[in-house]
Structure formats: structure tokens, C-alpha cells
């Protein structure tokens, strides 16, 4: 009995402490008003919905609450105390199709919305109001208390997406489902599924069976993607995989139940090496190629231009190419109920077109002088095919080159310039510039992160503004994060690269522009580190690491240190000792003495180390002058 009272007192203290904590919601709602008291979730709590359209959300919420609490919760029609999900009789114009109101008091929780999507997003907020243990996959003990609060919330943008590339590395349908679960928790509503590229064709096309018989498989290679050796004649091709029609339908239904729309991408006319491995006759040279395992198949010149060593483009002058694409898009359109099909259009190398007699003849027929204009002809042909299937075409900003009809939607990835031009020309735009939204980039110091060619810190993702100055906001559908997977072979690492930058972008795309504040976001971000731990979701802690910048002044090497996370102390050494909390504390730029200096830096908070150790030789520091 004594132990029971001690436990009850501890539970009461925990409940009071929780009620006093600031709310750690991501993305930040439009309006939050905290009030005294809490609502206690118990095994007798009822979950009710007022209309049949709310049942699916109520059932899912009951399941999510039952798993960690162990309470036998279920959902039923009607009204009453406990947790009530209400769809409005008369639409609330402020909320729109995805907004909600959440009212929590000691008597219960009421979520009100115009549409089931709004109920779903209100339920995600309710889960975040509960302690982190609610994320557990097993029964656990916690104070299941919801702080009293009044929330009004609705999204800033209708397109809130993440792109998952499954061509470079294949992810099973269960991996994709888990990824959808994670993004839906943070109110993302679009999964852009990059299904085809040079490194694998991942979707079954029954009328073109070789696309998956040949194009879905490649030789096994280890090591850094982009530096691997070429396939050898007769070498086995064990690595890969693809999704059957039934797999696609299953994943699409799974996503729909979580208010996530899947936009498939078939990347053409470039990035088609896997398709050409299956059907080489669709290229200009007709030469046999292999599904690429990550070899250096192009020379990049540093200014965005490149030369392909192996042909990876479809032939725009061959009518059989358009017959092929008609078959592909017929089956794709039937599998994905959303309005869009993404057709790629990026990084199309035109050197083989320039040498092809058929392409030259087509240029003469079209009265065009530049081979680059053939892409405009190709993309307009593709758009007509897509539209004939009852779909809208969306592509990367290169589809603007050579001219494209204004009803094509543009995804701006090469900075924001393409998005500005597209919007000014009357195109709808999804803003996804590499400078803010490419979450495959390094997120910490290059010496301690898996190598890739560019960097993007979480704070910069958070600073993104999707509506450029001078652009009519009505043309900006929203934005998305892009996860290219050349260097991402597993779901675990996909999670590491997605979060916390995905959480930062979730707030960019959902919350009011005026709500953004990095210093205020970091404590909420840290609370979600704890929630991710409870859920078993991987993430990066690079926001705790030191940022090391170097410059040259009066012939001396100068080091400047900072951290993304406010309030950290930075300790360093240059005497070949390991830094700790009693080493020199950084306060101003460090002018390094001559000699074979090695800089070591670590961050501390409240007297405890929190960041990773960064070690840089003089040569390494010299090479990064002006770069970071």
C-alpha cells in the first residue's frame, strides 16, 4: 500500500510538472492558448465521433493510444465526455479542408474539423500533447495527461511534401509505409515517390515486362556511390527490387488512410539508363547499357554543366519512344489516384541528340536551331500523353527550357530562380530548392558526416521562405524536402538524414510565416528528439556540433566557432590534447600560430559534453578557407 501511495504521489508530481512545461508542438499551430488543468487519459476514456466520415480517424487514434498505454480503448459513434471527434455541419471557413480546433480541459478533449483530414491532423497534435512515452511500440507507464489548451490550426500551404528516391537504393514497401507514418505525424501530406532513374526501375509495367526483369536489378557494389567500378560481362545482378501493381495499391491505400497523397515520378528523357538497359532501341545509339551501380558515368564541370560517358536519354525523334511512354503512363495513371504524374525533365544531356541524324532531321522539321529546344518538344509531347490519362504534369524546373504550356506545374530545385520564372509565366509551383530542401546533403561538419558534395544545416532549412518577394502567392502550391538516396542504403539512415531537417521544413510549410523563430524552435526540436527515441526513429544531433569557419588575415589562419543551438559553450585545444570543460573556452576568433597545428573542438551544455568532437589539421583548415 505504501509503495502504491508513493507511486501515486510521483504520478501527481509528474502530471503537475507536465502541465507547467511549455508545449512542444511541431509544426507550431496558428493559435495556442494554454489554460489551467489537465485531462487524464484512463482505461475508461471513451473515444467518439459524431459522423461516419470520422470513424477511420477515431479508430486509428484509439489504436495509437491503446498500444503504449495498454488501455482497451475503442471508438464508437455518438457524443459525450472523453475524446470527441466532430465534423462540422456548416463548414468553418477559417479552417479549410485540413484545419482543426482542439479544446482540451479536465472534462475531455474535443477536436472539430470540416473534413476527416482536419480530424487526422488534430489527432496528431493531441498525440504530441501527451508525454513522449505515447510514441512507444510497447506498453509502458507514464502520466497520460493532456494539458488544458485551446488550439486553432490550419496549414499555410496545401502541398507539404517529402520526396523519397527508391531508384538508387530500393526500399521495401514496409520501409515506405514506416516513412509515411513518420511524415504524417508532422502533417506532411505528399509523398513524391521517385520510382525510376539510372540506377533502377522500381515499378511494374505489365505491358513492358523487361523494365523490371532487367531494369530493376544491378550488380552488387560496395563503397562510395559514384566511385564504384563498372559492371563486367556476365556478372550476376542480385541487387535491386521493384513494386508490383498490388504493392503500389497497398502503399497508396496505406498513405490515403494517413492523408498522404503519393505523386509518382517517371524520370524522362534523361536519367533513363535503367529503362535503356531493358530497351536499348529507345536511345539514339541503340547501344547496350547496364543498370548503373554507382559508377562515375558523367563528368561534371562545377557550373551545372556535364557530359555523359554513357547514354542515358530517350530519343526524342523516335515515335517508338512515345508509344513506350504511353504504355508506361497508362499503367501509372491507373495505379495512382492523385491528380499529378511527375515526369522528371532534369539534367538531360543532349550530346547524343546533337549527333543523331533523326534528331537533326526533327530539328529541321520543327525549324529550331538549338538542340536544347528538343527538350521543349519532348516535354510537350509527354504532357499530352499525361493529360490524355486524366492527369496533370509536374516536372523539375528544366521543363521550362524550350517552352512548356502554362498548365504544367513546375518543381523549382535549382534555387528559387526557376520557381520565380515559372510563377511569373503563370505556372503553379512547388518550391524545393536544393539550398534549403535537399536533405541528402551534409547536416554537420564534413569530417564527421558521411561524405556528399554539399551541406545544409537544420537552421538553414528552417529559415526557408517558399514565397519569393514579388511573386503572387497564389501560384506557390507549397514546398517539399527531397531525399536522394545515392548515399542512403537503409531506412535507418534515411531517417537520420530526414530528421530534424524534415521537422524544420514541416513547420515552414504548415505554420504561419510570422511564427518562425529558430531560438524558440530548438527547445521544441529537442523535445522531439526524446519522442523519436521513444518511437525508435533515427535522427541527427548535428545541431549540437560546433561550426568551424576559417579565413586568412595578414598571412595568418583565423578560426571562428559557433553552434546552431543557442547557449552552448565551445571548448577547444591546439596543443594536441583532448578538449573538455576546462580547456580554453571560445569567445572570439582564434589566430593560429605557425606550425603543424591541429584544432579540436567540442560543445558543452550545463557543464556536460553534448556535441561531437571535431578534429581539423592545419591543412584541413586551410582548405576550408571561405568555404563553410
User: Against a cut of 0.85, is the pTM above it?
Assistant: yes
Using alpha carbons only, give the angle 161, 165, 171 rounded to the nearest 5 degrees: 110
Question: Does the pLDDT of residue 404 top 90, yes or no?
Answer: no
* pLDDT tens by residue, 21-73: 579 999 999 999 999 999 999 999 999 999 999 999 999 999 999 999 999 99
pLDDT in tens, 371-388: 999 999 999 999 999 999
Angle between helices 55-69 and 116-129 (to 10 degrees): 20
For range 456-466, the mean pLDDT:
98
Strands 546-553 and 556-563: antiparallel
Q: Give the Cα separation of 320 and 322 in Å (integer).
A: 5
170-222: pLDDT as tens digits: 999 999 999 999 999 999 999 999 999 999 999 999 999 999 999 999 999 99
For residues 463-492, give the mean pLDDT. Answer: 97
pLDDT above 50 for 17: no
Cα 424 to Cα 55, 499, 533, 626: the distances in Å are 43, 33, 44, 35
pLDDT averaged over every residue in the chain: 95
Whether 334 shows a pLDDT value over 70: the answer reads yes
Q: What is the pLDDT of residues 283-318, one digit of tens each?
A: 999 999 999 999 999 998 877 789 999 999 999 999
Q: Which CATH class is domain 159-535?
A: alpha beta
Give percent of the chain with pLDDT exceeding 90: 93
Q: What single-letter DSSP state applies at residue 44?
A: T
> Confidence class of residue 401 from pLDDT cuts 50, 70 and 90?
confident
Q: Check pLDDT > 80 for residue 14.
A: no
| For range 85-96, the mean pLDDT | 97
CATH value of 545-623 in 1.10.357, 2.60.40, 3.30.160, 1.20.120: 2.60.40
Taking residues 430-458, what's their average pLDDT?
96
Q: Which residues of 292-323 are buried (b: 16+ CB within 10 A; e: fewer)?
A: bbbbebbeeeeeeeeebebbbbbbbbbeebbe
Beta pairing class for 75-77 and 590-591: unpaired
- Given a contact cutoff of 8 angstroms between Cβ atoms, the answer to whether 550 and 624 are in contact is yes
> What does the domain layout of the chain look like in residue ranges?
2-153, 159-535, 545-623
Please report the pLDDT score of residue 21 as a whole number. 57
Task: Kindly state the DSSP code that residue 585 receives in the 8-state scheme.
Answer: B
Asked if pLDDT for residue 18 goes beyond 60, the answer is no
Q: Quick one: average pLDDT of 455-463?
A: 98
* Residue whose cell numbers read 528552417: 462
Give me the catalytic one of 250, 347, 372, 401.
Answer: 347
What is the C-alpha to C-alpha distance for residues 198 and 238, in angstroms, rounded to an integer?
A: 16
Residue 356 DSSP one-character state: -
Residue 61, C-alpha cell as written in the block: 487514434
Is 15 a residue whose pLDDT tops 70?
no
Q: Which CATH class is domain 2-153?
A: alpha beta
Position 6 scores a pLDDT of: 43
**Tally of helices (H runs) and strands (E runs) in the chain:** 18, 28
Output the pLDDT for position 16. Answer: 44
Give the angle subtended at the CA of 199 by the CAs of 399 and 182, to the nearest 5°. Answer: 80
- Give pLDDT, residue 627: 80
CB 241 within 8 A of CB 171: no
pLDDT of 602 over the 80 cut: yes
Q: Is-catalytic flag, 347?
A: yes
- 591 pLDDT band, cuts 50/70/90, is very high
For residue 20, what pLDDT is reported?
Answer: 46
Amino acid at each position: 500500500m505504501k509503495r502504491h501511495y508513493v507511486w501515486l504521489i510521483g504520478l501527481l508530481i509528474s502530471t503537475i510538472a507536465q502541465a507547467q512545461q511549455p508545449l512542444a508542438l511541431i509544426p507550431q499551430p496558428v493559435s495556442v492558448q494554454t489554460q489551467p488543468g489537465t485531462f487524464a487519459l484512463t482505461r475508461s476514456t471513451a473515444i467518439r465521433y459524431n459522423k461516419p466520415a470520422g470513424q477511420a480517424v477515431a479508430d486509428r487514434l484509439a489504436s495509437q493510444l491503446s498500444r503504449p498505454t495498454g488501455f482497451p480503448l475503442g471508438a464508437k459513434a455518438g457524443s459525450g465526455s472523453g475524446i470527441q471527434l466532430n465534423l462540422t455541419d456548416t463548414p468553418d471557413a477559417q479552417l479549410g479542408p485540413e484545419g482543426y480546433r482542439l479544446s482540451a480541459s479536465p472534462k475531455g478533449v474535443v477536436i472539430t474539423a470540416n473534413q476527416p483530414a482536419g480530424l487526422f491532423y488534430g489527432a496528431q497534435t493531441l498525440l504530441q500533447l501527451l508525454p513522449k512515452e505515447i510514441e512507444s511500440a510497447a506498453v509502458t507507464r507514464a502520466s497520460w495527461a493532456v494539458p488544458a489548451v485551446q488550439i486553432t490550426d490550419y496549414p499555410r500551404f496545401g502541398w507539404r511534401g517529402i520526396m523519397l528516391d527508391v531508384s538508387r537504393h530500393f526500399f521495401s514497401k514496409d520501409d515506405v509505409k514506416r516513412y509515411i507514418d513518420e511524415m504524417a505525424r508532422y502533417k506532411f501530406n505528399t509523398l513524391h515517390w521517385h520510382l525510376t532513374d539510372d540506377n533502377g526501375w522500381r515499378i511494374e509495367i505489365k505491358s513492358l515486362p523487361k523494365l523490371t526483369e532487367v531494369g530493376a536489378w544491378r550488380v552488387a557494389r560496395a563503397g562510395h556511390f559514384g566511385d564504384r567500378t563498372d559492371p563486367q560481362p556476365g556478372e550476376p545482378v542480385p541487387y535491386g527490387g521493384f513494386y508490383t501493381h498490388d504493392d503500389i495499391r497497398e502503399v497508396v491505400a496505406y498513405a490515403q488512410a494517413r492523408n498522404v497523397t503519393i505523386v509518382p515520378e517517371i524520370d524522362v528523357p534523361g536519367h533513363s539508363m535503367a529503362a535503356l538497359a531493358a530497351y536499348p532501341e529507345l536511345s539514339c545509339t541503340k547501344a547496350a547499357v547496364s543498370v548503373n551501380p554507382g559508377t562515375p558515368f558523367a563528368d561534371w564541370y562545377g557550373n551545372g554543366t556535364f557530359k555523359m560517358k554513357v547514354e542515358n536519354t530517350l530519343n526524342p525523334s523516335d515515335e517508338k519512344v512515345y508509344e513506350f511512354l504511353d504504355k508506361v503512363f497508362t499503367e501509372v495513371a491507373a495505379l495512382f489516384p492523385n491528380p499529378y504524374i511527375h515526369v522528371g525533365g532534369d539534367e538531360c544531356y543532349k550530346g547524343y541528340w546533337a549527333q543523331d541524324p533523326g534528331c537533326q532531321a526533327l530539328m529541321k522539321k520543327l525549324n529550331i536551331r538549338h538542340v536544347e529546344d528538343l527538350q521543349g518538344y519532348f516535354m510537350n509531347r509527354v504532357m499530352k500523353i499525361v493529360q490524355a490519362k486524366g492527369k496533370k504534369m509536374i516536372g523539375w524546373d528544366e521543363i521550362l527550357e524550350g517552352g512548356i504550356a502554362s498548365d504544367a506545374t513546375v518543381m523549382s530545385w535549382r534555387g528559387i530562380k526557376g520557381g520565380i520564372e515559372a510563377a511569373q509565366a503563370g505556372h503553379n509551383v512547388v518550391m524545393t530548392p536544393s539550398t534549403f530542401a535537399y536533405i541528402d546533403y551534409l547536416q554537420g561538419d564534413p569530417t564527421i558526416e558521411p561524405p556528399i558534395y554539399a551541406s545544409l544545416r537544420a537552421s538553414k532549412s528552417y529559415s526557408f521562405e517558399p514565397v519569393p518577394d514579388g511573386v503572387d502567392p497564389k501560384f506557390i502550391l507549397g514546398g517539399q524536402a527531397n531525399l536522394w538516396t545515392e548515399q542512403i542504403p537503409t531506412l535507418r539512415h534515411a531517417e537520420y538524414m530526414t530528421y530534424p531537417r524534415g521537422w524544420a521544413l514541416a513547420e515552414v510549410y504548415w505554420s504561419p510565416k510570422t511564427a518562425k523563430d529558430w531560438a524558440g524552435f530548438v527547445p521544441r526540436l529537442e523535445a522531439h528528439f526524446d519522442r523519436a527515441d521513444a518511437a525508435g526513429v533515427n535522427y541527427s544531433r548535428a545541431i549540437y556540433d560546433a561550426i568551424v569557419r576559417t579565413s586568412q588575415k595578414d598571412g595568418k589562419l583565423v578560426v571562428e566557432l559557433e553552434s546552431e543551438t543557442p547557449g552552448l559553450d565551445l571548448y577547444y585545444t591546439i596543443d594536441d590534447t583532448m578538449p573538455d570543460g576546462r580547456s580554453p573556452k571560445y569567445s572570439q576568433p582564434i589566430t593560429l600560430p605557425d606550425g603543424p597545428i591541429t584544432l579540436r573542438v567540442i560543445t558543452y551544455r550545463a557543464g556536460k559534453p553534448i556535441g561531437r568532437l571535431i578534429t581539423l589539421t592545419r591543412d584541413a583548415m586551410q582548405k576550408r578557407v571561405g568555404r563553410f
